[in-house]
Amino acid sequence: MRYLSDRRTGKLKPLASAIFFLFSAFTISACGTSEPEDLSSAALIVNGVPMEIPFVMKIDNEPVSLDEYRFFYLNVKKQMDGGDPTYWTQPNSEEKEKELKATTLSLLKSTHAVLHLAEQQQLSLTDTELSRIDSDVKSQISALGGLPKYHRALKEKYLNDNLYRQIWKINYCRQKLWSYYFDRGGQFYISDDAISNNEKQTSYNALFTKLIHTTVGELDIQLSDEYDLIGIDTLQ
């Protein structure tokens, strides 16, 4: 299993924990700036010049935008360095950057595996669930004081509106898969009198991790020509 190092604790986090961190409910708060919001897409900075790329990779022929990749990349980076830029100038910096990109890729594969597996099992979001996402966005905009502040708050989390909605959809798909496999009548359901609740949850977690891992292995990954340009100095 791939691990995500956390400089602040000195411990290594399993990949599953990293995914939970990234997709746990965000506390979106407004920042103090009153500057106009920049809604432009992410760009690589190559030799001091912004460079927009059509996609970073394709997963099962679905393009992964630089915006999506950046969300994972910068969150993993933040977990690794704890906000200390000197972390990347210390010994083994090249290996650390390789770990950063490898972990980012693993997270992307795992989240797309959730979507892929949900599609395989013909699990899709209902109109009610899609409406809940719209309602949440409207509530966030209202609570934050308007659309510009909403966009700025998302930007603080390396997000935009499309990615925020995508996170909601991935969480819904994960919940649906869990119910599909482990609720009463599901393929891997274990009766309450068979084992203890703790043993059941441990078994379910292991099975779900295995299902995602197997699905990851089935995904077709095609990296773009620009993928090798991504690094600490070019993606911020």
pLDDT per position as a tens digit, 15-66? 444 454 455 544 455 444 444 444 557 889 998 899 989 999 999 999 999 9
List the domain boundaries for the chain. 3-25+43-84+94-121+168-229
- Across the strands, what pairs with 3? 14
Q: According to the model, what pLDDT value does residue 25 have? A: 41
Mean pLDDT confidence for 147-162: 92
Q: In the chain, which ranges are E strands?
A: 3-6, 11-14, 44-46, 49-51, 57-59, 62-64, 221-223
Mean pLDDT of the chain: 84
Q: How far apart are CA 153 and CA 156, in angstroms?
A: 5
pLDDT per position as a tens digit, 194-226? 788 889 899 999 999 999 999 999 999 999 999
Query: Nearest to residue 183, comparing CAs of 191, 171, 195, 172?
Result: 191
Question: Is 88 a residue whose pLDDT tops 60?
Answer: yes
3-state helix, strand, coil in the chain (%, to 5): 55, 10, 35
Burial, 72: exposed, middle or buried (Cβ in 10 Å; 0-12, 13-18, 19+)? buried
Specify the pTM.
0.83
